[in-house]
Amino acid sequence: MRHFSKTSLLSLLLPLLSPAMAATEKPNVLFLFTDDQRFDTIHALGNERIKTPHIDRLANNGISFRNAYIMGGTSMAVCTPSRACLFSGRSLWQLANQGPWDFAIPEKYKTMAQVFRDNGYTSFATGKNDPGFGKNDHFTRSFNAGKNLYYRGGHRGQTRTPIFNLDPGSPNGRGEKIPTDNRFNADLFADACVEFLNSRKGVKQPFFAYVPFMTPHDPLNCPQEYMDMYQAKDMKLPENYMPQHPFDAGVHHIRDERLMKRPLTEDAVLARLAKYYALVSHTDAQIGRILEALDKSGHADNTIIVFASDNGLGLGSHGLTGKQNVYEHGVKVPFIVSGPGIAKGQKRDQLCYIYDIYPTLCDMASIKVPDTVQYKSLKPVFQDPAAKHRESLYFSFMQWQHSVRDERYKLIEFCVDGKRTTRLFDLKNDPAELNDLAVQKDMQTVLKRLRRMLESKRPKKEDLNSEHYQNMSAEFWDTYQKNS
């Protein structure tokens, strides 16, 4: 008579288990995503002036990445390509873009939420639906549950623009417009997620819950109690504050750079910082409500929580107010992961993109990563603080700015109106990017090495799947080469 070990017997029985029973082994995912939040706006990670007790809780219970970035933007609205990179798993210049605002994800690219949905998860969304509803939209085909979804039309602190529930059966993926009573959208999105988590009590099927906030993006509106928490006189100017950028970076005409008069005054920047901090704290409070609901749902111990933002913001750094740049304040973002199997209260300095979370979550849920995904799993870094991940990162903003960094140095090449400006920074000794080393004789070897690295990242023409992309890329590299 053949003898079976418990392990071999279990392997024979697993195929016979019902999907609901098999699903209990899968971790849940709660993805909290803010809009325009700088990397240096979390109390637990070094900002003593801001109050973020609930994000602090995530940092204390998980791993914080201190060198997490986006790739930049191929649109003036950086958030749109950034979110498309996140969900498609495709790199910045290989998105299926047909114009400056069109970032619909083709069906041949399975989105992050879609992969979880296809593997038996309830896939839920609330909040900002960017890149938008439509035939090829990731919201339409990736989620089978959703409430209080924001439809495009401009940001509002209070909800004066359309909010919908998800209706995958409708032609555009959305149902009827729902009343909001002019409430703040961060509250509405938290309400929807809390309601969803309350409905999961006792449910064994795993869930993927995505909560993309629209804050702290302008306009800087939130409840007065949070505005009262911060006064301009108590704020501190960014270390790299400047009244205006020292040369044309190609962005002076963009909306975000026209929100404040130039030259920027210290008083104006401090006043804006106070309002911005208020929105961060209000958003943090809504995250607290969601975490409380997760605790009460009974699923907290089996839920991976991701916190990140779609891009940074200038707020006076280098004389810039927007996110349309590749300085650290534009492309570096907060990124925290906590949950089962993840160390508590640790930090990692490995270079990474926040988009690496797509294959990471698949790895942690034992889901096959689609072959079309171009990013790298961080699971080895969770397990080993010394694990290697990336040796360098590449950034760009439209046809005007391209950049690379390694573990120490960062090169930025600006090519605007036929003129090229080079900047080189030592991020180890100058994280605020104040001291340009490009003209120093003893830095020419480093400069040449980083230029070769940048040139190796040049998008290949066959990868630029739209004339719009081809024209943008050609304009930058033509100027770069003519001025070499």
Tell me: pLDDT of 175 over 70: no
> Which segment of 98-102, 191-195, 230-234, 440-444 scores lowest on mean pLDDT?
98-102
Is 329 a residue whose pLDDT tops 70? yes
Instruction: Specify the residue for token string 């009974």.
Output: 298
CATH topology of domain 399-482: Arylsulfatase, C-terminal domain (3.30.1120)
φ, ψ dihedrals at 126, nearest 5° = -145, 160
What would the mean pLDDT of 256-264 be, rounded to a whole number?
95
Identify the H or E element spanning 471: helix 467-482
Distance CA 484, CA 472 (A): 19
**pLDDT tens figures, 387-446:** 999 999 999 999 999 999 999 999 999 999 999 999 999 999 999 999 999 999 999 999
Domain ranges of the chain: 24-383, 399-482
In terms of C-beta density within 10 A (0-12 exposed, 13-18 middle, 19 or more buried), how is residue 426 classed?
A: middle
Give the residue-averaged pLDDT of 321-330.
Answer: 98
Please write the tens of the pLDDT for every residue from 449-475. Answer: 999 999 999 988 777 877 888 889 999
Yes or no: say if 168 and 261 are a contact pair by the CB < 8 Å rule.
Answer: no
What pLDDT, on a 0 to 100 scale, did the predictor assign at position 9? 38
- Say what the pLDDT of residue 157 is: 57
Positive or negative CA dihedral for 310, 316, 320, 322? Answer: positive
Q: What is the mean pLDDT of the chain?
A: 89
* Position 96 confidence tier, pLDDT thresholds 50, 70, 90: low
Alpha carbon dihedral 321, 325, 326, 327, in 10-degree steps, equals: -30
Whole-model pTM above 0.75?
Answer: yes
The fold of the 24-383 domain, in CATH, is: Alkaline Phosphatase, subunit A (3.40.720)
Judge whether residue 103 has pLDDT over 60: yes
Q: How are strands ordered across the β-sheet holding 72-73?
A: 72-73, 393-397, 401-405, 409-416, 419-426
Assess contact for 439 and 432: CB atoms under 8 A: no
To the nearest whole percent, how much of the chain has pLDDT over 70?
A: 86
Is residue 252 scored above 90 in pLDDT? yes
- Phi and psi torsions of 32, nearest 5°: -105, 120
CA distance 466 to 96: 7
| In contact, 168 and 125? CB cutoff 8 Å | no
Task: Using CB atoms within 10 Å of the CB of residue 47, give its burial: 0 to 12 exposed, 13 to 18 middle, 19+ buried.
Answer: middle
